[in-house]
Amino acid sequence: MCFSLLIKQIPLSLTPLHPCFFSMQNIEVRPVKDKQELDDMFHQRWLVLRSPLGMDKGTEKDKHEDSAFHLVAVCDHKVVGSARLRLLSKELGSIAYLAVLPEFRHQGIGTKLMEKLIEIAHEKNLNTLRLMSRVHAVNFYKRLGFCEVGEPFYYLDVSHIFMQCKLQQSQKNAKD
Ligand SMILES: CC(C)(COP(=O)(O)OP(=O)(O)OC[C@H]1O[C@@H](n2cnc3c(N)ncnc32)[C@H](O)[C@@H]1OP(=O)(O)O)[C@@H](O)C(=O)NCCC(=O)NCCS
């Protein structure tokens, strides 16, 4: 039987052509390694967070990129997920731009990116992490130890809410 006929008989979700073929074992979560990968990461961020809002290339960046810490999830040399940590003071960190390509979601990549940033925040002795969550992602962040702060508001015409996580507290909860 020829290969193409064989492939047609296998459900798409089990073929190497489908993103779900890549398990977390194939995904590397690590800091951005060079300028090319940084550019790839901005493109991936734009694809997930700005293009669907009809916004131009370049709008995915802000003035804090050079001083921030960038984490990527890479699958087969492709940036499929990313997130940023920035220090606002010695004790306070801000997480932003968490984004996973649609075809790679629900496999734990977003969680892994967040867990890694929380681990780094602990290493830096931060005691609080803040972020601005899209309202649809609130439960995702709650599971990671974040709580809502204040009332929802609109940013870029998308409903958001501030959330924060007290790190000592989340560490204690993890031990309980
Ligand atoms: C929010 C976002 C980053 C989550 O990324 P993700 O990689 O899908 O995250 P995870 O896979 O870790 O968790 C997502 C869900 O998959 C589930 N999940 C995790 N691992 C799983 C697995 N192996 N099998 C099935 N489901 C799984 C989680 O329980 C979670 O459930 P929920 O949708 O009910 O919350 C992603 O949806 C995204 O980029 N959205 C657009 C941009 C955005 O909203 N960014 C964040 C808000 S500012």
Global pTM value: 0.85
Closest-lying ligand 1 atom to the alpha carbon of residue 140: 35
Per the domain annotation, does 9 fall within a domain?
A: no
CB of 27 closer than 6 A to ligand 1? no
Per the domain annotation, does 147 fall within a domain?
A: yes
For residue 73, name the pLDDT band (cuts at 50, 70, 90): very high
- pLDDT for 54: 97
| Separation of CA 157 from chain center | 21
Amino acid code (one letter) for 93: G
φ, ψ at 49 (rounded to 5°): -105, -20
How far, in Å, from the CA of 3 to the mean position of ligand 1?
Answer: 34
Instruction: Please compute the mean of the pLDDT values over residues 112-121 and round it to a whole number.
Output: 98
pLDDT for residue 127 is more than 80: yes
CB of 51 closer than 6 A to ligand 1? no
Give the closest residue (by CA) to ligand 1 atom 16.
106
Per the domain annotation, does 87 fall within a domain?
A: yes
Instruction: Please compute the mean of the pLDDT values over residues 88-98 and round it to a whole number.
Output: 97
Identify whether the C-beta of residue 48 lies closer than 8 Å to the C-beta of residue 6.
no
Instruction: Please compute the mean of the pLDDT values over residues 89-105 and round it to a whole number.
Output: 97
- CATH number of the domain encompassing residue 65: 3.40.630.30
Instruction: Give me 165's structure tokens.
Output: 């996580």
Choose which residue among 107, 132, 155 to substitute to test ligand 1 binding: the one with the highest number of ligand atoms within 8 A of its C-beta.
107
Which residues form the domain of 30?
23-175
Number of domains in the chain: 1
3-state secondary structure of 158: strand
DSSP state of 76: T
Between 99 and 1, the higher pLDDT residue: 99
Per the domain annotation, does 165 fall within a domain?
A: yes
d(CA 94, CA 132): 9
- pLDDT for 25: 73
Give the closest residue (by CA) to ligand 1 atom 34.
140
Per the domain annotation, does 8 fall within a domain?
A: no
d(CA 14, CA 143): 29
Per the domain annotation, does 18 fall within a domain?
A: no
26-62 pLDDT tens trace? 999 999 999 999 999 999 999 999 999 999 999 999 9
Per the domain annotation, does 4 fall within a domain?
A: no
For residue 13, the tally of other CB atoms under 10 A from its CB is 10
Q: Which residues pair with residue 30 across a beta bridge? A: 72
Per the domain annotation, does 17 fall within a domain?
A: no
- pLDDT for 24: 77
Instruction: Please compute the mean of the pLDDT values over residues 155-160 and round it to a whole number.
Output: 96
φ, ψ at 147 (rounded to 5°): -120, 150
CB of 162 closer than 6 A to ligand 1? no
Q: Which residues pair with residue 155 across a beta bridge? A: 158
pLDDT for residue 174 is more than 60: no
How far, in Å, from the CA of 141 to the mean position of ligand 1?
Answer: 10
CB of 82 closer than 6 A to ligand 1? no
